Structures are given as structure tokens and as C-alpha cells.
Chain A
Amino acid sequence: MKHTLSVLVENRFGVLARVAGLFARRGYNIETLAVAPTEDATISRMTIVVAGDDADLEQITKQLNKLVDVIKINDYTDVAVVERELALIKITAEPGVRGEIMQIADVFRASVVDVGERSFVLEVTGKVDKIDALTRLLEPYGIREVVRTGKIVLTRGLQPA
């Protein structure tokens, strides 16, 4: 099962290496990872998606907590959250199919952010499933490159972080 961990860490030199190294040496795969500073510039938030059963997650969480630079860990798997990912998708867009592609993009509220002679770059934001669905629909046109940010989440309302 996939879990989404939101990890608050000291915004310091080496902290990403500490966290990534911990996953690697304990044998857990990071599926996605997004890191950036929070509203407090001394703290960064890492949103980590990792697969594992409950025992794995308990051990990962405990090991992460042992890192001196880790301040707090929340498992947002079964919590009411706003979940988003952003993707840029470069596809082949021959003149004859541009209209179709733009219609699909509209349905997904994706926007065309670059137009080349034979290509589009689409920007889409949403839940991971939505991006997966759009990517699938665009596949027949010829996807050249995709870059995704990895999932980020924030709790809904004013529940304590």
C-alpha cells in the first residue's frame, strides 16, 4: 500500500542526503519526493510517497524520527487532505490534431504553455490519478517527455498539522 508522509525537517545542508540515505540503506523505495521550504524559512517540508505495509511504515517513521534534523512526521494516508501534483507534458502536435489535443486539455483544465511547430507543452495540476488519466489519453499523439513534481499534500481546514 502507498503511504504519503509529510516530513518537516530542518532546512539545512545535508538533510536530503540523510533522509534519502535512510530509505536506501533500510531497503525502502521512495516513489516520489517533493521538497521545499515552508512558511518558516528554517523548516523544509518533504512529501514522500512510499510503498509498504503498516509494519514497514512504522519502522520507516521511527527511523526517520531518529534523524536529529527531522522535526515531525505525519502519515497523511488516511487523513482529509488536499492532494496535488503538477506535470509538464511535451507531446507531438501535428497541425491536424492540435484542436483535439486542446479539447482534451480543456477537459482536464490543463493549459498549453509552449507551442512549437510540431509540439505542445501542456501544464496540468491535480490529483495523481488525474495526471495519470491525462497522460494515458495523450499517449496516442506521441508523448515526448514528461516531468512531474511528485505529490504534495496539505490537511484540510484547521486540523493540527
Chain B
Amino acid sequence: MSKMTGAQILIDCLLREGVEVVFGYPGGAVLPLYDALYDAPVRHVLARHEQGAAHMADGYARATGKVGVCIGTSGPGATNLVTGIANAHMDSIPIVALTGQVPTFGIGKDSFQEADIFGITLPIVKHNYLAKDGRDLPRVIHEAFHIASTGRPGPVAVDLPRDVTALPVEYEPVTGPVEIRSYRPTTQGHPLQIARGAQLIAASSRPILYVGGGAIHAGCHQEVRQLAEKLGIPVTTTIMGKGAFPETHPLSVGMLGMHGTAYANHAVHHCDLLIAIGARFDDRVTGKIETFAPEAKIIHIDIDPAEIGKAKAPDVPIVGDAGNVLRALLGRVEAKGHPEWLHQVRRWKEEFPLQYREDGHLKPQYVIQQIREVTGGRAVVATDVGQHQMWAAQFYLCDRPRQFLTSGGLGTMGFGLPCAIGAQFGRPGETVVAIVGDGGLQMTVQELMVAVAHRLPVKICLLNNAYLGMVRQWQQMFWDNRLSSVDMQAQPDFVKLAEAYGAVGRVVEGPREVRPALEWAMTISDGPCLLDFRVAREENVFPMIPSMGSIDQMLVD
């Protein structure tokens, strides 16, 4: 055993967990940690705001499936991470957030830059720690990575008092399997429930797969496809599940829910068996829960037992890793087809296609379609939150998991750009596109500096309508068109702003300019570029089922 400072131990622990890059921002309480980072073989990315660091860690985790790591100092540094931690929590993203804390002897005394981040983060983490002794660090860090990445993934926060990281203590690495008596996620589905599920499938004539983000986390996209093809079942995905089944596949009906395709919602409404895989019956998906899939028996597969029956009671609950469960299920079902049902679904597709009016103006949906064409449908797409997010979900069809990165649960404006940056760090050779709005971009635009400093070729596609468009849409439709505080015409010159950061950009004003601008953007490989698409200002997202509504209230335009 050797003596090392807590900070040095921490760095060694991170290396043992396979951490290659961390996103953070230094400050007084994390000085020992940053001193240890100075000559450590871990890449540190200096964000321009801690929220950016948290979203970068989150984007990195979404894009790679690995655990993302972010760092903030005590007090304001830690509280600035909070939005990012909550965001990761709602979407079950594995991140470890390391926060500095005032020295142990100063805790609870309202010391300078003290905040009770342990208490503050309690409701928005999977688990958290306050490390009071450097000798606990090896166990705490090993557990933190284990808890973040296993079972239903999620954020783990570790609060690090300054004396704990500064003082030398004996160091004995903790490696190998983690044993926590109170934490043992169920990974294998119960054979009896799987058998009952197989019976329901065999008895059904109008089944549908409803696939959520859990399928992405479980990495079971191949099993989803095998099940769909073996049984001839249409597949709808949630926004978090995009890419868990190829959206260009004939069995895909795209996204369901409030802004889902009409045919996905019709199919769910009329199905007689709903097979939910890693999806949680969120209100944006179900609308009024009583009228959601009213004729259906439900099989609910989820690794989190608390999701079973939380919103809607299933007929067959199956707790376990979705991949394991689907493999077991595949072994118990006979191949069959549902030609009549698929014919009906095809008719809905023809009758209610996703569409928008092409009237010579620059339509945001058209921009998304063009982004998809120019990137061959293979870009990693990070979005912000709002109308552009819904258009991206509708029109950027994804065929691969970990391709569509979006703030689904918390709906965090400002997520898009730092998420794209984190994703580009995780997948350096790939095209990463940030599709953002003018509202959200302005919330975290300072992170553009990070993309420039690290020469990240992120393509920032700004759908600029000079409105907080989604809020404007609701005010127009449900609040008597009283447009309260949504006009954003007082805005910066975004191209000049990009240039001020050392990036390049162009304004795009008409449909004909879209393609050349995107092709130009694709040629820029040594840094970010920004395309400022001046889209039709008052375009609305359709279809739309009003909040807590039913399919019979669906508005198509």
C-alpha cells in the first residue's frame, strides 16, 4: 500500500473505470483534483459553464453507452450541474457527477461557496455519496460507476470535501465485481411471465411493439427487429427509443404520442396487444391514460419494477433486461404474420402521412429532410427542446441506436449544443449534427467555444423562427393567441456570434439555399459551423394530440 492524496486516488480510480475524457470547470474546492488532473492521462474538457459540462457528459454517454463524467466545484459550480443531472436522471443516462465541497470541518457552517449538493441532488440522482474519508474513495468511485451503468442507468453524484481530496491516505485499489447487498437489479425475466407473454402474443391478431429508451440502454435493437420480423408486428418508438428499430423498415410506424405520426397513434389505439419494451407510458406518449390503447392487452418489459403499473397496469409484467427477455421470448414464439393488420396499418400510413405545406417559404420540416439526405441518414443528431425537436423526431428517420440524442423526459432547453459536443468527443470520426432553436441555443451558446477550441466539426443547424415556437404554438392554439413573451426577434446575429467564437456560419433564407449550405457545412472538418436557417416563423408542429387528450382530438393541421 502506498500513500496518495485523495485526488490522486480519484484519478487512479477513474482510469481503472476506463474513463478517457471528463468535462468540467475548476474552482477553489476542486483545486486538489485539478492539480492531480494536470499531469494525469485523462483528457479534461473545460466547459464554459458547469451545465454545459453536465450535458457534455450526458451526450457522451448517450452516444457511446459509456459512463460520462463531469466535474464542478462546490457551491455554484455544483448547483450549475443540477439541471444536467436532472436531465440525465429523467432519461436514465449513466453519468457520474463529481462535485467539490468545502472541507469536512467547514460543512454545515455556511462556508464560502458551500451548498448542500448531497441534499439538493437527492431527488434527481440514482444514488449519491458524500465522501468523508479519502480511504472510502476507491469503494465509492467503483460503486458509483457500477450503479450508474447497471440496472436502469442513471446519474450518480459524488461530493468531495476539499480535505478529502487534498490529504494523503493509504491507497488500496478496489476492483472486481461490486457487491452491494441492497442493490441487485433483476436482469433475467421470470420464465412464467415470459411464457404468459408468449401466449398473449400467440393469441393476438393486432399486436404492436412500443419501444422506448430502455431498448437503447439494453442494446437490444437486434432482438427487437427479430421479434418484429418473426411475428410480422408493426413497431412504434418513443422519442427516446428512436433508432431501436430502423425507421425506414416497412414495419416501422415511427414515433407515437402527442406529436407522433397519426398512423402510429391509430395503430396503438386499435391494437389488441401492446408490447412495451423499456418504455414508461409517459404522459406525452399516452395522453389521457384511460383512452390509451383501450382494446389492448399489455405486456410490459422493463428492468425497473417501479415502472410496471406506475401509469398503466399490464396484463403480463416482465421485469428484466430487455435483451435477455426478448431472447427468451423469441425462443417461445412461433413465426407468424398478421397480413390483415399490416394491411390496415399500411392504409393508415397512406391516409394520414406525415406532411407539411410546401408554399415557397423555408419550412423547418424541409430543412430536417435535407439534413437527413445530405448526411445519408447516418449522422448522430443531437437536438435541443421545442418545435425543432419534434420536427427532427418526425423527419430525421433513424436506423441505428444511439443516433438520436434528445432531452426527452426533462425537456431541457440548452441541451442540444453541449450534448452534440459530448457526442463528438465520444464518436470523433462521425458526423454530429446539432439541431437547435434560437431560444435553446442562446441558453448554452457559450459552449461553442469548446467546439472551436477542440476543433470539433459539429454542424449546428439553427432553425431560427425568432420565436419560442412551441410556447407560441400553445398560446396560439389553446390560449386565444395571446402571444405572451415568446417573440425573440431581438436576437444576435448568429453568424457573427459564431465568428466571434472562431467558428464559421451562413444565413440560409430560401429553400434553394438549403442544399448548398448543408453541402458546404459538410466540407468543414476543422471546427464547428453554424447554419442560421430563417424558417417560416409561424409553422406549427402537427399532428398534435392536445395535452392529456385522446386520439379523437388529434389535430392534423
Contacts and interface: CB of A to CB of B under 8 A. Distances in A.
Specify whether A and B are partners. yes
Interface of A: 9-10, 13-14, 17-18, 21, 25, 55, 58-59, 62-63, 65-66, 68-72
Nearest to B305: A62
B126 A68 contact: yes
B512 interface: no
A151 B304 CA distance: 31
Interface stretch (B74-82, B117-125, B338-346): B117-125
B346 to A, nearest CB: 39
B305 A70 contact: no
Interface of A (DSSP majority class): helix
Nearest to B181: A71
A58 B182 contact: no
B306 A68 contact: no
A59 B310 CA distance: 7
A71 B306 contact: no
A66 B123 contact: no
B119 A17 contact: yes
B118 A66 contact: no
Nearest to B143: A68
B441 to A, nearest CB: 32
Interface in B230-288: none
Contacts of A58: 309
Given A68-B183, A69-B182, A14 B306 contact: no
Contact of B180 (A14, A21, A59, A68): A68
Contacts, number: 40
Contacts of B182: 9-10, 68-72
Contacts of A69: 182
Contacts of A9: 182
Nearest to B310: A59
Nearest to A24: B123
A55 B305 CA distance: 13
Nearest to B183: A68
B130 interface: yes
15 contacts: A9-B182, A17-B119, A18-B122, A21-B122, A21-B123, A55-B309, A59-B306, A59-B309, A62-B306, A62-B310, A63-B306, A66-B306, A68-B180, A68-B182, A72-B182
Interface of B: 118-119, 122-123, 126-128, 130, 132, 147, 180-183, 304-306, 308-310, 313
A71 B119 CA distance: 21
Contacts of A14: 118, 122, 128, 130
A25 B305 CA distance: 19
B147 A68 contact: yes
A139 B385 CA distance: 60
A25 B123 contact: yes
B122 A17 contact: yes
A65 B306 contact: yes
Contacts of B181: 71
Contacts of B122: 14, 17-18, 21
Nearest to A14: B118
Contacts of B310: 59, 62
Nearest to B119: A17
Contacts of A13: 130, 132
A59 B304 CA distance: 12
A149 B127 CA distance: 30
Nearest to A62: B306
A58 B304 CA distance: 13
Given A68-B126, A68-B127, 20 more contacts: A9-B182, A13-B132, A14-B118, A17-B119, A17-B122, A21-B123, A25-B123, A55-B309, A58-B309, A59-B306, A59-B309, A62-B305, A62-B306, A62-B308, A62-B310, A65-B305, A68-B147, A68-B183, A69-B182, A71-B181
Contacts of B313: 55
Nearest to B156: A68
A9 B182 CA distance: 8
Q: Which 6 A-B pairs have the closest CB atoms?
A: A62-B306, A71-B182, A68-B127, A68-B183, A62-B305, A21-B122
A24 to B, nearest CB: 9
Contacts of A17: 119, 122
B130 A66 contact: no
Nearest to B309: A58
A58 B17 CA distance: 36
B218 to A, nearest CB: 18
A69 B463 CA distance: 45
